Amino acid sequence: VVWSYPPHGRALRDCLVRLVQHSRNTVVIAAMSFYETEKVECLHQALLEAMKRGVRVTVIVRPDHFRPDQFPDHSTKHLLENGLRLLGVSSLHAKGIVVDENACAIFSGNVNPFSLDCQDASAQVELGLCEYGDAKILRHYGKWLTELETKADFEYA
């Protein structure tokens, strides 16, 4: 279990970074929103490096919180140019990550500076549960996250 709370610690961010850094094949992230990752530099860099290693990185967002007329933002466009696959699933409220079917986490934060950077005045208290290896508790959640790709309403270009 990881907690992030201002002004102490960025445990949720650091957990996500570690998971992405150790990925070998696939990363699927689901969140209501995903933006301004350049302000969470270590995560942005970990995503870029994973894609350079050949890892397939997919992010699934809720379209009404990530409207195509306003997003993707500059940092998300940069990730898209480097291979990120960005999908929209209506009514999505799930937040989590599955990596190589070997690690899975469910968390309360979105993937943006307000949820992941505890130095920001508007940062929230966030938490996550991560399971590695033979995921017994989160096994079905990880499978569902992976299957979300097939439920996408559209793909951001």
pLDDT in tens, 87-134: 999 989 999 999 998 899 999 999 998 888 867 666 678 899 999 887
Kindly calculate the radius of gyration of the chain based on its CA atoms and give it in whole angstroms. Answer: 14
Whether residue 137 has pLDDT greater than 90 = no
In the chain the first and final C-alpha atoms are separated, in Å, by: 35
pLDDT number for residue 68: 65
Mean pLDDT of all residues in 1-23:
88
Tell me: the pLDDT tens digits for 36-93? 999 999 999 999 999 999 999 999 999 887 776 677 889 999 999 999 999 999 989 9
Q: Rounded to whole angstroms, how far apart are CA atoms 19 and 111?
A: 14
Question: In this predicted model, which residue has the larger pLDDT, 20 or 113?
Answer: 20
What's the pLDDT score for residue 51?
A: 98
Q: What is the pLDDT of residue 120?
A: 62
Residue 7 confidence (pLDDT) above 70: no
What pLDDT, on the 0 to 100 scale, is given for residue 26? 97
pLDDT of residue 45: 98
* pTM greater than 0.85: yes
The C-alpha atoms of residue 72 and residue 77 are separated, in whole angstroms, by 6
The stretch 8-34 carries a mean pLDDT of 93
Q: How many residues does the chain have?
A: 157
For 102, phi then psi, to 5°, come to -120, -20
Q: How confident is the model at residue 5 (pLDDT cuts 50, 70, 90)?
A: confident
